[in-house]
């Protein structure tokens, strides 16, 4: 099921434009070294044309044993802009605060917010950067099962302007 009140949202095709926009990709992190490695390595092999328009913000929501900074240190220099923030106090629902911190520090313009274990393929990120999106619309991501059957959009993945987030 999708988020309450969103199951009947229309499916829209966004045309591809010629003008690139800068997009900030925001992901909360909590004790998930393997997916953070997968995200950083996956983004690292994408085209320079795309990476020049992406900023990654990871907010570690107080991981006690496996902080995100350890992954960043192990991987070293990245071929794209990335920022890492950390919430020091471990409280319930930090992942929501992590989203707010990411949106606060986003460069402006457009933001894509998703979970650490949601991997966006290059063609999806390309559609965000080069699509002709309406700044008055909040977008969700259509999904399909391996069989091709449609699946409701995930309630934690969104694309909109930074202003629309607030």
Q: How far apart are CA 159 and CA 100, in angstroms?
A: 14
pTM above 0.75, yes or no: yes
For the chain, give the percent of residues with pLDDT over 70.
93
Q: What is the pLDDT of residues 140-150, one digit of tens each?
A: 988 778 898 88
Contact yes or no for 41/48 (Cβ under 8 A): no
Q: Which residues pair with 13 in a beta bridge?
A: none
In 3D space, the residue among 20, 17, 84 whose CA is nearest the CA of residue 51 turns out to be 20
Q: What is the pLDDT of residues 41-58, one digit of tens each?
A: 999 999 999 999 999 999
Q: Whose structure tokens read 């350890």?
A: 70
């Amino acid at each position: 099921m999708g988020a309450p009140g969103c199951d009947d949202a229309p499916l829209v095709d966004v045309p591809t434009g010629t003008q690139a926009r800068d997009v900030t990709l925001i992901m909360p992190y909590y004790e998930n070294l393997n997916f953070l490695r997968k995200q950083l390595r996956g983004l690292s092999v994408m085209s320079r044309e795309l990476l020049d328009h992406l900023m990654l913000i990871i907010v570690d929501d107080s991981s006690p044993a496996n902080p995100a900074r350890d992954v960043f240190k192990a991987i070293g220099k990245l071929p794209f802009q990335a920022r890492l923030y950390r919430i020091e106090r471990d409280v319930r629902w930090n992942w929501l605060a992590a989203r707010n911190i990411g949106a606060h520090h986003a460069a402006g313009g457009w933001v894509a917010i998703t979970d650490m274990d949601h991997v966006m393929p290059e063609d999806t990120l390309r559609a965000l950067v080069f699509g002709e999106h309406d700044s008055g619309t909040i977008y969700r991501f259509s999904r399909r099962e391996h069989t091709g059957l449609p699946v409701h959009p995930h309630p934690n993945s969104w694309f909109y302007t930074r202003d629309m987030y607030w």
